[in-house]
A and B are shown apart, each in its own frame.
Chain A
Amino acid sequence: MNKISKVKGALEVLLVSGLILVIPLFFAIKTTAEMQEAKNTPMPLTPTAMATFESNAVTTAKQPPACTFPLAQITAEESTPEEYIFSEPQIVLTEPDNIYDIVEWLPDNQQVLVTQDLNNARENGKPTRQSIELYNPETGESKIYATRYRIEDLPSWQPELNAVVYPAMNFLGFEANVNKLKFTRQVWVSYGNPDTAQMLADNLRQFPLAVKPDGSATLYLSDKKIFKKNGALKDIPSVAFDSNQWDYAKGRISNIPVTYKMAWQPGTSLIFLYGDGVSRLDGYTYILDADTGQVCELNMGGWAVTAHWSPDGRYLAIIRTHDHFPISSSDLTVLDTLTGKVYIVGVTLQIERGKHYVDAIAWAPDNRHLLAIGKFSPYANQPNDDQSRLYLVDLISGQSDDILPAYTFYAGSLSGNFAWSPDGSKVLVRCPTETDEKICFITVKRSGQ
């Protein structure tokens, strides 16, 4: 056999071998394709982007351990349930241009911390400004403590210093090509004179801050640390805390860091840390120990729109939803932090067909009742069909009473719609019309008084 014949023979062997391998492969591919076609389903999209996302975000974040109960050693005595009688609402303020947020009553039960959007004082090319005021609904007096560019994050009263601590936007301009604001996030304190307000911190990772209910500490977050100040607003040692470490949600795709709102449990070092799951996909419900930086996860069966601790610190009440924007329902969910028991209250009459919402909540001084604005929106409604009422909810029995059925209040799904005074004697609530902002004042008689 000559050389050419040998090469030819080798090629023939290769050809035959190749055919033996390729033909079954061809039929395997064809069969797969036919099966795919028979199922009549689209071919899956190549998840290249997901792989990139996972390597950037998911692998570096992890889910915190589940919280155990009791959450903290608190001395919560059994409260005596009270009865409350509410007066007719009285309009105490009408404002055609500007919108208010009602933040909280001060411990004196006389003044209310509010914010007012100054839409009538806009500067071209700049965000709207907002004033932070103390308002006395019985005298009509108000005192401006500070002004800032308008943000949704609320100020807090610092009772040890009789001062307002507030987050502020340091506006630097616009990145017009991407529609982004250029700014830094700051924290300020005002003792009553806007001109002498003092900056406490700059270049923070988020606006929300937390003030301990007794005023003995103020806390805000940077990327890697919890910054704390004592009751005199002096620095106390910071604690390591990597907020991105707990940003584990698989669906989240934004490269914008998660923003945590905070609510401080009275009498403890624990903070309810919650991410907004409505406009984003990171609806976390965590407990953060401000002393150690440790985090655990609460299973609330959804995510929190807003959160309030009962005055004695035993119960954590949240407005809970399961949806992303636009939400189709929300309820009142209360966690007993001693036992881990969860109470769920629908507030509005659930048998009616439509969308049911809870839009604002506030605790009664007896740690058992809550005021809530419940909204019922019938399906296929006209705008005026929405019913937003003020309800008194008994946490233990689950009973919910429409206490002022002749009146409609504002249900905006965000904080700042109403507040109940610490002694339970007064309620301030937004009651706007379609054209004007209005604030209503309600007096309350307690059975214990």
Chain B
Amino acid sequence: MKCKNILLVVSFLALFVFQQVQAGGIMPSVANPSINSAPAYAYLDHVWLYVVKLNQDGSIESPPTLCDVGYTDLGCAEPGYSFPSMNNPIYIDVENAYLPNVLPREMDVQNNDPTLPALQAQAVAARTYATWTALNKSYDDPFGFGYINQINNSTDYQVYYPDAYDHFVNPNDPEGVKQMISTAISSTFGEHLTFGDGSAIDAEFGGDIAIQSVDEPSKDYLNTIQDPISTICGAVTNYSGWGMSQKGALRWSKGNQCATGGDANTAWPVTWTDYRQILAHYYIGIDIMGPSGKVAPDDRWNLLKHNVPSQMTGGIAQSVEIWLQNTSATEWNDARLVY
């Protein structure tokens, strides 16, 4: 348990908040940033992937049918194309073949103009979820082939469409968004979320939540968090409500309560330009592990909301309200904010 001196000077805070708003993208820290000893680095870089015919809600057709050469069904291929692989299940490279075809559908890049931080957060969450489900969700094996580390392409796991990277593209900027997806994956190479003993967490995520996430009582990192940016502009809880909201990630990364862009536009006073802020917000007390160790400090906080005036005279101090979230790996007992 950490013990730190309290030094909360409102004017300093206001200045800091102002600096945050101006500069953006800084992972704020509490006191002297510290990193506890890193747990083991363990995630699956290859998994067995069953690609099966899907229903329109993303569930598996019953009885299950493996996609095969020539199949054009939902889940087997993007519209106008056919299932590309001679093998099924596929022993798939998570970084280079799985994630590039998960991110476009999971973030619905055709309908939501994505941002790099939101895609990076999704890449880390999807990478983590692939490992967790492959190791912990074996009850769902539809074929009983007995492979370890197996997943499928349905919403029981994560939606995977063969060649989605090439064919499920954004109408406003097809090549730009594809490049953004590539960057999101490569810039977070190997990064995944852990908790406690260093195991990959059940990094649940879904389309949208309203006001707050939903508590998953058996997992501390999936406790309820407030999501004040997700209150209007069609915000609705449309999945279990556990973990990261994909539209919430878009909202925070755009600094806008409307996730999809377009005509809808309701500016929010805070923008997160660092994907780690998004992940630390939705998953409580987690570590973000990369190949070289932790990529986020243990001591950290997120600015959720403030009322700093849009104009302030130089040298003038003013009392403001800010709304902070402790996103540290531990609770604060005696916090001192440093910037």
Contacts and interface: CB of A to CB of B under 8 A. Distances in A.
A152 interface: yes
Contacts of B110: 251, 253, 281, 324
Contact of A179 (B116, B156, B163, B172): B163
Contact of A254 (B80, B116, B162): B80
Given A38-B21, A325-B58, A410-B62, A50 B111 contact: no
A99 B71 CA distance: 14
Interface in B69-85: 69-74, 77, 79-84
A280 B74 CA distance: 11
Interface stretch (B2-10, B233-241, B280-288): B233-241
Contact of B82 (A40, A180, A386): A180
21 contacts: A39-B271, A42-B254, A46-B173, A49-B171, A49-B173, A119-B65, A127-B70, A174-B69, A254-B79, A256-B80, A321-B56, A326-B56, A327-B58, A330-B56, A379-B240, A380-B239, A383-B156, A410-B62, A412-B61, A412-B62, A433-B62
B79 A279 contact: yes
A125 interface: yes
A279 B55 CA distance: 11
B171 A251 contact: yes
A407 to B, nearest CB: 15
A127 B70 CA distance: 5
Contacts of B116: 42
A49 B68 contact: no
A325 B207 CA distance: 12
A167 interface: no
Contact of A181 (B72, B108, B140, B254): B72
A235 interface: no
A42 B82 contact: no
A373 B78 CA distance: 27
Given A325-B74, A380-B240, A47 B172 contact: yes
Given A279-B74, A279-B79, A379 B63 contact: no
Interface stretch (A215-223, A236-244, A265-273, A434-442): A434-442
Nearest to A259: B79
A55 to B, nearest CB: 14
A328 interface: yes
Nearest to A278: B56
Contact of B55 (A39, A171, A178, A413): A413
Contact of B63 (A171, A375, A433): A433
Interface string B141-185: 010000000000001100100110001011111111000000000
Q: Top 7 closest A-B pairs, CB basis?
A: A326-B58, A127-B70, A380-B240, A413-B56, A179-B84, A256-B80, A253-B171
A439 B72 CA distance: 25
Interface in A29-64: 37-42, 45-47, 49-50, 53
A39 B255 contact: yes
Nearest to B206: A379
Contacts of B22: 37-38, 40
Interface of A: 37-42, 45-47, 49-50, 53, 99, 117, 119, 122, 125-128, 149, 151-152, 171, 174, 178-181, 250-254, 256, 278-281, 305, 321, 324-328, 330, 355, 357, 359, 375, 377, 379-380, 382-383, 386, 410-414, 432-437
Nearest to A152: B73
Nearest to A353: B237
A85 B309 CA distance: 68
B82 A383 contact: no
Contacts of B267: 39
A179 B55 contact: no
B135 to A, nearest CB: 17
A181 B70 contact: yes
Contacts of A305: 56
B200 to A, nearest CB: 19
B63 A357 contact: no
A432 B171 contact: no
B98 interface: no
B262 to A, nearest CB: 10
